[in-house]
Amino acid sequence: MPVALLWGYAALVGIWLLAGWGGPTVTDTLANWNPAPAQLALLAYMAYNLRRMPAGLRRTAWWLVFAAVAIDLVGVLFWLYTLPAEHQQYVVWDDAVFLVYYPVLALACALFILDLGGTFRGWRVWIEMATLALGLGATLWILLLDPAISRSMPVRGKMFGLLMFATAIGGLMVMAARLYTQVSDWRRERALGLLIAALSLGFAADMLWLRAKVADSFPTDSWFDVVAYCAFNAMIATAVMLDRGRIAAGLRLTPVESNSFLPTLAVLLAVTMLFGESAALDGIRGWIATACTLGGALLLAARQLGVRHEIRGLQTALVTMRAEAILTEVTRRSSDLVMIVNLERRIAYVSPSSAAVLGIASSDLVMSPAIGFLGPGNQARLSAFYDDIVKSRPDSVELAAAFSTASGDRRELSVIGTDHLDSELIAGLVINARDVTVQRRLERELLDVVARERERLAGDMHEGLGQELTGVALLLKAHVNEFSPGDGPARSSAEEIIAHVNKSINLSRTIARGLSPLQVARGSIEGALENLSAEMSAQYAVKVQVHCDVDGAEIDPTAADHLYRIAVEAMNNALRHSGCSAVEIGLSCDPRVLTLFVADNGSGFRYGRVADMGLGLRMMGYRARSLGGSLRVEAQPAGGTRILVTVPREGLTPPPTSRMMVPPIFESQRLH
């Protein structure tokens, strides 16, 4: 109803002025005062409807239109105040009020453009706007500035005011044209269509007003008054009504990139108008015409070059998208399992290879707890693994884990995790898991072969060479006993030979112990660790303590050999590099895992990633992984370093076919 009343008011004012009812006095009064009621009604209607619109750029833009209408109303009232002769000195302030009206409407158009998904950041946008400004400038030159120059306006203030109005109006129409190019669905954006139409009609009316200002003639024109105020206000009210209805219906906008044909058209029209002018292009007119023509040509050339640059950019983007698509497809088809664990420690993404690696469909893993994809037995280890990933940023963290699938198959995985929580696209921990069951089995078989060969060599050294040397020592001892008291020099030589043979026997025993310490310690890892602590204490003059608690645990000799050699390497690192005065070795076993640690009170050191470790540490990690376990290097709070190895109980008892056979070895007695 309010919109209909505004349209009816516009029609009534137009008919009244055209008919001339009441004579010139009544007509002039109506022409002067008719805008104010329409503007007041429009402001009330907009205030009522805009308060009910949802907050956002669209609502802010309409409030700017509201402000522009209010500014125009103030300008109209000020103009009415300056009509009497005694108030003519305030006309310049009235013009200043009207000048504010155009930038406010231009800012409103800019917000409408942003609301539609447009932007003002691209170079092409500014080239198009500059081209439009050139075309409108040429138009204003023909309609306003050239007549003003030809009339040789005597008052510089009037010329300056004319330039200011022309610039403000041109800027508003450039922004309106930019808004026109941004709209893609006119059925949904009928409100903006009406707004652009209202601005275009206002532009036409302002052109007539400015020409009248140049000619110092302001005739009462009913068409001008109706278009400039009444019709404009009715169109704005209708646009507000349509926009509120669109928002209430929940229509969503799809941001689009504007495709503009107006810049080229504007330049062509400007050039046509300039060269079609019948007046002679001499003096300042010639310079302005030449500048507009050259400026238009340069802008068109810049836009063409920009289009080529955009095409190259699009081609590059297509190549990048294709590369990303290929990478995505390679990830999907990879035999390795790729997962993303989010902040809530749930699986946000999992590659299709989960069915082959884990025996679980990827759809069953998405959004499930990330600590459970390897079964209940690995939950605690996975939880600590994720914590280590976050602490080790940006380094990768490795984990060796064994689990049983739903079908009962025993599998071993090598899991590598990297922290990408800072990435906007990933925002999680990237987990890469590879099935290394066959590889680990082959590694264990290789280590078993090496261990068996060491056992054979240890047996040969201890039982073969050692027994032969013992026999030689016995023969020499028998010959010494046969010497007479007068054979002193010969007896001394023989006893010296016996001493060298005994040293050789001890050396063969030491070599045998190094090749197979568990054999010499009769298969007991506890005894081997005790012997190791005694040797290290005597060699380095440090305090070495051993705590073993594995009663009842069945430890395969191969597994015991790996654990012993890990302890030896850890001891060597601590005693040679940390400057410690005490070392503690611990070996314990619970129903699920066996734990071995070697701790010192030295200066401590940081190993970093596995790839950066020395050969000894890499071998320690390799041996731990071959048993299905893991190795960690930790800094102790009180100083020093602790090397921690955890091995699942099932890794301590491999199948009988892979177990190392340990033949019995008997220690021989040293002969004197």
> What is the predicted pLDDT for the residue at 151?
57
* Amino acid sitting at position 148: A
Taking the CB of residue 517, how many other CB atoms lie within 10 A of it?
22
543 and 583 in contact (C-beta within 8 Å)? yes
What tokens does 28 get? 């002039």
**Angle subtended at Cα 304 by Cα 303 and Cα 305, rounded to the nearest 5 degrees:** 90
State residue 368's pLDDT score. Answer: 92
398 or 607, greater pLDDT:
398
- Reply yes or no: is the peptide bond before residue 394 cis, omega within 30 of 0: yes
**C-alpha distances in Å from residue 639, one per residue of 262, 584, 604:** 75, 14, 7
> What's the pLDDT tens digit per position in 488-518?
777 778 778 888 888 887 777 777 666 655 5
Strand arrangement, sheet containing 347-350: 347-350, 337-341, 428-435, 410-420, 397-404
pLDDT in tens, 7-48: 787 777 777 776 667 767 776 676 667 777 888 888 888 888
Nearest CA among 307, 301, 311 for reference residue 267: 301
Match 């199948």 to its residue by tokens. 655
E-strand spans in 424-550?
Answer: 428-435, 543-549
Distance of CA 244 to CAs 50, 237, 630, Å? 8, 11, 65
Over the stretch 445-461, which tens digit does the pLDDT of each residue have?
777 777 777 777 766 77
Query: Which residues are CB-contacts of 33 (< 8 A; sequence separation ≥ 6)?
Result: 80
Which tokens go with 236?
A: 């704005």
Report whether pLDDT(474) > 50.
Answer: yes
| SS3 label, residue 582 | strand
pLDDT digits (tens, 9 = 90+) for 510-544: 776 666 555 444 457 888 888 888 888 888 888 88
Residues 6+ apart with CB under 8 A from 320: none
Under 8 Å between Cβ of 263 and 299: yes
- Identify whether the C-beta of residue 587 lies closer than 8 Å to the C-beta of residue 595: yes
Structure tokens at 43: 């402001």
Query: Which residues 6+ apart lie within 8 Å of 100 measured at CB?
Result: 71
What CATH number does domain 443-658 carry, 1.20.1630.10, 3.30.70.270, 3.30.930.10, 3.30.565.10?
3.30.565.10
* Structure token digits, residue 560: 């015991």
Q: pLDDT by residue (tens digit) across 548-585?
A: 888 767 787 778 888 888 888 888 888 887 788 889 99
User: Of 31-35, 114-118, 144-148, 460-464, which range is least confident?
Assistant: 144-148
Q: Strands (DSSP E) along 536-640, which ranges?
A: 543-549, 582-589, 593-600, 630-635
Task: Please state which CATH number belongs to domain 334-435.
Answer: 3.30.450.20
pLDDT for res 522: 47
Sorting pLDDT into bands at 50, 70 and 90, what band is 412?
confident
Length of the chain: 672
3-state secondary structure 211-270: HHHHCCCCCCCHHHHHHHHHHHHHHHHHHHHHHHHHHHCCCCCCCCCCCCCHHHHHHHHH
Residue 38 has a CB neighbour count (10 Å cut-off) of 24
User: What amino acid occupies position 590?
Assistant: D
Query: How do the domains of the chain map onto residue ranges?
Result: 2-309, 334-435, 443-658
* Model confidence at 604: pLDDT above 90: no
Residue 326 confidence (pLDDT) above 50: yes
pLDDT surpasses 50 at 660: no
